Amino acid sequence: MSLDIKTLVDKYDTPLYVYDFNNIAKRYQELKGAFDGKKSLVAYAVKSNSNLAVIKHLAKLGAGADCVSIGEVKRALKAGIAKYKIIFSGVGKRDSEIREALQKDILLLNLESEAEMKRVEMIAKELGIEARISIRVNPNVDPQTHPYISTGLHENKFGVSIDSAKRMYIYAKKSEHLNPIGIHFHIGSQLTELSPIVEACEIVADLVRSLKAIDIDIKFFDVGGGLGVVYDNEITIKTHEYADAIIKAIKGLDVTVVMEPGRYMMANSGIFLTRVLYEKQNGDKRFVIVDGAMNDLLRPSLYSAYHKIEAVQKDGEKTPADVVGPVCESGDFLGKDVPLPPLEHNDILVVHSAGAYGFTMSSNYNTRNRVAEVAVLDGKDYLIRKRESFDDQIKLEEVCDTSWL
């Protein structure tokens, strides 16, 4: 991102998320372009970064949305994503969420259990409609990624086995209130190997063929998200190889390929800026204490995820330091053994690859205000979320009457 970081920090303060909207568009177009000439829908995984401006930007480019709560569905609609491009997934949808999603007439409800299918059928019956559904299949393929973001094995809570999926499709086909038109899988996130994706595609494509033989016509073949990105020195899957492999696996099927990328579009379209508060040495250990913390960017603490960290316009011999935040947890760090030059109060650090699962996983832990978000498009910067204030944080508590205390 060619940005004047000092100017942004002077204007918006720290901690701060900054997103490169040109890069988001580039990534979207690259993926969509790889499927050129084929029926495809890139349904952006809203959970990776749900800022309305981000979704609106993608909506204008033609993207759909993959949502996992009615809140995300509402965000997608509000940002201008066409309802026929919105998918609602997730293992635990509440009745009210199912009802609202059906009323909003979105493309598909993605079902993850037989019990959920019965609920959807009942609610669709109450509403007097037919619910368009897809079923999330768990192909029992090892995606070779971090166990916390691995989802395609039977030991994970997601989806149903091929056999139950088949039973569910047969049931749905007979139901007056269910219309099974899609199939879905998502084996994990930050995938850097193509072979597990191909394996899953082949298993699921075979199921689609066997469903066709019994007159169940699947129109949407949803391969989920999961495309990995470079955080450090990973070798990632090339989009054209990804597309070619999927197209090959579904040969002979007349389906629209749906993808649900989040990280692919957002991770390296975002940085997190934080300010040095102090340096300190505990014995041999060097700490750089910054104003950003685990509540702002949880990935390092939660997954020991690596994010490259660099000092802005600072020279000097680099020595390893742990970059830590002010939160009262030993697990509050943004980086360990980061090679950094000597730093002073108010120096700025850039935490790279922070555009996906950064702000969306942030919290108010330690009554810290959620940070501001800024978009940069064609060299111009725009505030897309205000920094939270203390009043914002407490306003839902202030409405309570506490005279009983």
| Residue 145 or 175 having the CB closest to ligand LLP | 145
Collapsed DSSP state (helix, strand, coil) of residue 257: strand
Closest to ligand LLP by CB, 180 or 228: 228
CB of residue 365 to ligand LLP, shortest distance in Å: 16
Closer residue to ligand LLP (CB): 210 or 304: 304
CB-nearer residue toward ligand LLP: 75 or 286: 75
Task: Give the residue with the Cβ less far from ligand LLP, 223 or 311.
Answer: 223
Among 12, 19, 21, 264, binds ligand LLP (CB under 6 A): 264
For 46-114, where are the E strands, in sequence order?
A: 64-67, 86-88, 108-111
CB of 84 to ligand LLP, least distance (A): 19
Phi and psi (nearest 5°) for 177?
Answer: -115, 10
**Do the beta carbons of residue 4 and residue 359 sit within 8 Å?**
no
Beta carbon of residue 261, minimum distance to ligand LLP (angstroms, whole number): 4
Residues in a beta bridge with 42: 259
Residues numbered 76-135 forming contacts with ligand LLP, rule: CB under 6 A: 89
Asked if 31 contacts 261 with a C-beta cutoff of 8 angstroms, the reply is yes
Q: How far is the CB of 65 from ligand LLP (least distance, A)?
A: 11
Closest of 8, 7, 3 to residue 383, by C-alpha: 8
Structure tokens at 290: 């910054």
Q: Which stretch binds ligand LLP (CB under 6 A): 206-214, 230-238, 254-262, 271-279?
A: 254-262
- Of 35 and 357, nearer to ligand LLP (C-beta) is 357
DSSP letter string over 318-363?
-EEEEEE-SSSSTT-EEEEEEEE----TT-EEEEPS-SSSSGGG--
- Helix (H) or strand (E) segment spanning residue 259: strand 256-259
Among 149, 162, 194, 277, binds ligand LLP (CB under 6 A): 149
Within 206-245, the residues that bind ligand LLP by CB under 6 A are 224-227
Q: How far is the CB of 110 from ligand LLP (least distance, A)?
A: 8
- Position among 85, 93, 186, 368 found at the interface with ligand LLP (CB under 6 A): 186
Q: Specify the residue, 338 or 356, whose C-beta has the smaller distance to ligand LLP.
A: 356
Rounded least distance, CB 214 to ligand LLP, Å: 26
The residue of the chain with the least Cβ separation from ligand LLP equals 225
Residue with tokens 């040095």: 276
* β 108-111/16-20 pair status: unpaired
Known catalytic residues are 328
Residues 43-82 that bind ligand LLP (CB under 6 A): 45, 48, 66
What long-range pairs does 145-150 form, CB within 8 A, spacing at least 24? 145/188, 145/189, 145/190, 145/191, 145/192, 145/226, 145/228, 146/189, 146/190, 146/303, 148/302, 148/303, 149/188, 149/189, 149/190, 149/303, 150/187, 150/188
HSE-CB of 334 using CA atoms within 13 angstroms: 33
Contact in structure between 88 and 46 (CB atoms under 8 Å): no
Q: How many residues bind ligand LLP (CB under 6 A)?
A: 22
- Contacting residue, 40, 49, 189, 301, with ligand LLP by CB under 6 A: 189
Report the length, in residues, of the chain.
405
Query: What mask, x for binding ligand LLP by CB under 6 A, covers residues 283 to 312?
Result: ----------------x---x---------
Decide whether 159 or 180 has the Cβ nearer to ligand LLP.
Answer: 159
Interacting positions 339-378 with ligand LLP (CB under 6 A): 356-357, 361
Number of other CB atoms surrounding residue 319 within 10 Å = 12
Secondary structure letter of residue 236 according to DSSP: P
* Distance in Å, CB of 162 to ligand LLP, minimum: 18
Stretch that binds ligand LLP, among 184-192, 198-206, 274-282, 309-317 (CB under 6 A): 184-192
Strand partners, 36: none
| Contacts with ligand LLP, 6-45, as mask; x by CB under 6 A | ---------------------------------------x
Residues that bind ligand LLP (CB under 6 A): 45, 48, 66, 89, 149, 186, 189-190, 224-227, 260-264, 299, 303, 356-357, 361
